[in-house]
Structure 1
Amino acid sequence: MKFFIDTANLKEIQEAQDLGVLDGVTTNPSLMAKEGISGKHNVMAHYARICDIVDGDVSAEVIATDYEGMVAEGEELAAIHPRIVVKIPMIKDGVRALKYFSKQGIKTNCTLVFSSGQALLAAKAGATYVSPFIGRLDDVSTDGLQLIDQIVHIYNTYEFNTQVLAASVRHTMHLIKCAELGADVATCPSNVILGLLKHPLTDIGLSKFLSDHKKAESTAQNA
């Protein structure tokens, strides 16, 4: 399973990269705004800086909602760096844009997916990734993990090459369940990935090892 970090914060991205388990980055206009990045030139330059940090794919989202606008923006984004993946919304013109970029050999990430039917359309249009938002489904009393299961089953049945990128992953159990269900990628804040490190028995075991080592060293010095 690939781990992507969902942020535009360069420090967080660098820390995740240094941890050695980062496979890519996803961003969106809201995350850019959170970092105070505005204006086309600044946004494009920020994407380039992210690509310089990571080794994997970096999703950059278009703002346009019409076919021509998405194609124009997507081509500009793709020209920034070979790692850029053009993020396209799941709307009618978005599906058309996915097909266009697929024919051009440009990677895409179909975002704001909330049903298996939408995921099926994205795969048929040639999307590289499809992003089901499981946390947001949970927010409206719908089982987001069940959607992951459905999409994985459909893609495996028909041998689609589109990768399932679980998005809106809120906590470590979301992450583990997505891995169990066969999602290809999970994107989440860095604290969710770091949460996988935590287990009380690890802390207890390490504490005992260090305590025993200290006792052994003390005994050897006093001998």
Structure 2
Amino acid sequence: MTQSALDQLKALTTIVADTGDLNAIQQFRPQDATTNPSLITVAANLPENKELIEAAYIQAKSEGYHTDQLIERSIDILTVRLGVEILKIIQGRVSTEVDAALSYDTEATIVKAKELLALYQDYGVDQDRILIKIASTWEGIQAARVLEAEGIHCNLTLLFGLHQARACADAGVTLISPFVGRILDWYKKAENVEHYPVEKDPGVLSVRHIYQYYKQHGIQTEIMGASFRSVDQVLGLAGCDLLTVAPALLAALEQDQRTVQRQLTAETSQQSAAGIHEVLDKEQFKNQLETDLMAFQLLQGGIDGFIKAREQLSTLLRQSFGIDATIRT
């Protein structure tokens, strides 16, 4: 019997579900799962999660929170409770994201990360099963440096270029999530191109470049390709350490019968000339980010999008519990 593309891919790469939909995770049984504010907002709108929302709100209220703080605490609790439910299904780790509004505040990111981790620990979850997800700003990367030094594992997301990947490696982060689809979207619009073959897909090539650089320099940080638009993009990174894939594409891979070829190997990458790995300081990082228009725009756009998604979730909770949005603490 011919194996599906998904089964073949699982033999080459750790597959991660990019969703907060518990039913989809139950169906595909990935090793790990990732969430973000947009996915949490989608999950919160599912009828089967109504009890989780109510429980989060009741817990936040019992802790003495009121109005705006009550909603923010409820969102954090809901995010963690969804993570706990996901961990009941999978064998590995779940990524839980810090509020994107804190992306340029190192200290606040550290505090929020520890608050989320404390919630997980209250539910009896070992911290080794949690990846704290942080945007790959300079400030976010420095927060991850501190957290990793304390044994708290981090997933640096919204990553669009080698300069971000290098800074993450310097900070000793556990895992990075370089994006694919959003890079493709940007180039299609910027260059007015309808289609790129996978071998010329700028998003796929970006992740391949980062993978090669990491393996050449013996960097231990895991690479998890993210933000896919097609099955071809996913298969174009077969062999990457991990790939986080939305349920719709997992379903398509399950139906696909093509033969999957490994595209990335550490051995092949290590055979290439490595060059010198230079540690980036803040000024160098900022300069490289600002001169890379694609990465600069997509990083800020991604942060803005996640902030908006959290605001939408806040509105949903206010409506659900009859809290006046005009009230401020």
The TM-score bracket by the shorter chain reads 0.7 to 0.9
2 CA distance for matches of 1:200 and 1:163?
28
Match for residue 15 of structure 1? 27
Contact 2:158 2:179 in 1 (8 A): yes
1:200: Cα distance to partner? 6.7
Count of matched residue positions in the alignment of Structure 1 and Structure 2 = 196
Match for residue 212 of structure 1? none
Match among 38, 42, 55 for residue 34 of structure 1: 42
Query: Which segments of 5 or more consecutive residues in structure 1 lack a partner in the other structure?
Result: 202-223
Contact 1:51 1:84 in 2 (8 A): no
Match among 119, 131, 141 for residue 85 of structure 1: 131
Match for residue 198 of structure 2? none
Match among 148, 155, 158 for residue 109 of structure 1: 155
Relative to the length of structure 1, the TM-score reads: 0.82
Amino acid at match of 2:173: A
Matched, 1:149 2:208: yes
Match for residue 166 of structure 2? 120
> Where in structure 1 do 4 or more consecutive aligned residues deviate above 3 Å?
none
2 CA distance for matches of 1:189 and 1:146?
20
Structure ranking higher on relative contact order (CA contacts 8 Å, 6+ apart): 2
RMSD: 1.8
1 CA distance for matches of 2:80 and 2:95?
12
Contact 1:88 1:111 in 2 (8 A): yes
Match for residue 242 of structure 2? 185
1 CA distance for matches of 2:91 and 2:255?
26
When residues 191 and 159 of structure 1 are mapped into structure 2, their CA distance, relative to the original with a 3 A threshold, is same
1 CA distance for matches of 2:139 and 2:152?
17
Q: 3-state SS of the aligned residue for 2:33?
A: strand
Match among 236, 240, 251 for residue 194 of structure 1: 251
Contact 1:169 1:186 in 2 (8 A): no
1:112: Cα distance to partner? 0.4
1:43: Cα distance to partner? 2.3
Larger strand proportion of the pair? 1
Match among 224, 234, 255 for residue 165 of structure 1: 224
When residues 13 and 199 of structure 1 are mapped into structure 2, their CA distance, relative to the original with a 3 A threshold, is closer
Matched, 1:48 2:84: yes
Identity of aligned residues (%): 31
Query: Which segments of 5 or more consecutive residues in structure 2 lack a partner in the other structure?
Result: 1-12, 45-52, 54-73, 189-201, 259-329
Q: 3-state SS of the aligned residue for 1:106?
A: coil
